[in-house]
């Protein structure tokens, strides 16, 4: 058995590191199979030599995060464990400096994984970016944040968000109201992201002035979108014709982000997904970037990552 010690100054530091009822340290102990004890201004790590070495590196990195941000989240700890275990602990600092924006509630919004950081950098440096990955990887939310940034910096004059209104089990005809009422539930995630980042007052003001537009993909046909930041969400549910139609709407001074999850296609059986096809057509064109996120970039409940892994195994067995 190996033992290492880390000096730690300040009771507040220890409280943040250990978490409520020591939940943070219990997570680290469970993941790395070590015992961690705080006593007399130092942390003692006891366990197998390799595990103790990893835990020591991890705790030093978590201390750096606390010094920089004054807090720790479970997601940050879990992702840091993965990086340190893979010998990539130096990359943790890359996630501390990339602030995208501050939300209406005062929350600092930044990439939480290296995949998300790669996605954000691609959006900064390309006019068209495809963000492809499973649920919970922040594809849509980060795209909306980058659109708002671009709008506030006067790089574009408006934000346009769209989705294909494809039925996922339920039938549109059974929903109450007119066509707009029927498609609004499909656009709700886009409303929610804008509302969260901008706040209610700013969101409604921009929407009423036509500076923010949220509409079904069918409403894009025949238009030219100049000086706009355009986001196509749930693009796995576009047909090849719809994808081509959307991409050719882009006008002067505009940028586009296309997001989707090719494992959740709701198109009728036999229909080809425009998102699956487009990567084969546009992959080599300069100014267009394809970013693929995976289960390591999931920032929702920890079980979401395990659910994705379980489905991946199931699909492999089927094949």
Class of CATH domain 101-318 = alpha beta
Mean pLDDT of the chain: 86
pLDDT of 290 above 80: yes
**Distance between CA atoms of residues 39 and 20, nearest Å:** 17
Query: Given strand 128-132, what is the order of strands in its sheet?
Result: 212-216, 158-163, 228-232, 255-260, 128-132, 288-292
* pLDDT value, residue 227: 96
Can you give the pTM of this predicted structure? 0.80
Location of structure tokens 């879990």 = 78
pLDDT of 177 above 70: no
pLDDT band (50, 70, 90) for residue 171: very low
* pLDDT value, residue 302: 66
Count of residues for the chain? 319
Q: What is the pLDDT of residues 33-78, one digit of tens each?
A: 999 988 878 889 999 999 999 999 999 888 888 888 888 888 888 8
CATH code of the domain made up of 2-93: 3.30.1370.10
CA torsion 20→110→198→304, rounded to 10°? -60
Q: Give the orientation angle of helix 49-69 with respect to helix 11-18, to 10 degrees.
A: 120
Domain boundaries, the chain: 2-93, 101-318
* pLDDT value, residue 182: 56
Query: Given strand 35-39, what is the order of strands in its sheet?
Result: 2-7, 42-47, 35-39
């Amino acid at each position: 058995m190996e033992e290492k010690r880390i000096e730690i100054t300040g009771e507040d530091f220890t409280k943040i590191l250990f978490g409520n009822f020591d939940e943070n340290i219990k997570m680290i102990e469970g993941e790395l199979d070590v015992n961690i004890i705080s006593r007399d201004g130092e942390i003692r790590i006891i366990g197998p030599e390799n595990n103790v070495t990893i835990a020591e590196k991890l705790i030093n990195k978590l201390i750096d995060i606390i010094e920089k941000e004054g807090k720790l989240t479970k997601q940050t700890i879990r992702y840091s464990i993965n990086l340190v275990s893979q010998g990539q602990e130096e990359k943790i600092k890359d996630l501390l400096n990339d602030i995208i924006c501050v939300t209406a509630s005062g929350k600092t919004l930044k990439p939480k994984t290296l995949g998300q950081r790669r996605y954000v950098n691609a959006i900064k440096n390309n006019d068209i970016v495809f963000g492809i990955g499973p649920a919970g990887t922040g594809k849509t939310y980060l795209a909306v944040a980058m659109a708002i940034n671009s709008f506030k910096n006067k790089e574009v004059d408006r934000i346009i968000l769209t989705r294909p209104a494809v039925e996922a089990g339920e039938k549109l005809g059974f929903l109450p109201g007119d066509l707009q009422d029927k498609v609004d539930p499909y656009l709700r995630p886009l409303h929610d992201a804008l509302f969260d980042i901008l706040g209610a007052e700013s969101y409604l003001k921009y929407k009423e002035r036509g500076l923010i537009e949220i509409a079904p993909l069918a409403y894009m046909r025949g238009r030219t979108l100049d000086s706009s930041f355009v986001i196509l969400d749930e693009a796995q549910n576009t047909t090849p014709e719809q994808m081509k139609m959307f991409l050719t709407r882009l006008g002067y001074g505009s940028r586009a982000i296309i997001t989707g999850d090719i494992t959740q296609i709701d198109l009728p059986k036999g229909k080809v997904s425009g998102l699956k096809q487009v990567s084969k057509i546009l992959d080599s064109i300069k100014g267009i970037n394809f970013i693929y996120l995976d289960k390591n970039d999931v920032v929702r409940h920890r079980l979401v990552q395990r659910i994705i892994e379980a489905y991946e195994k199931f699909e492999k067995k089927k094949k």
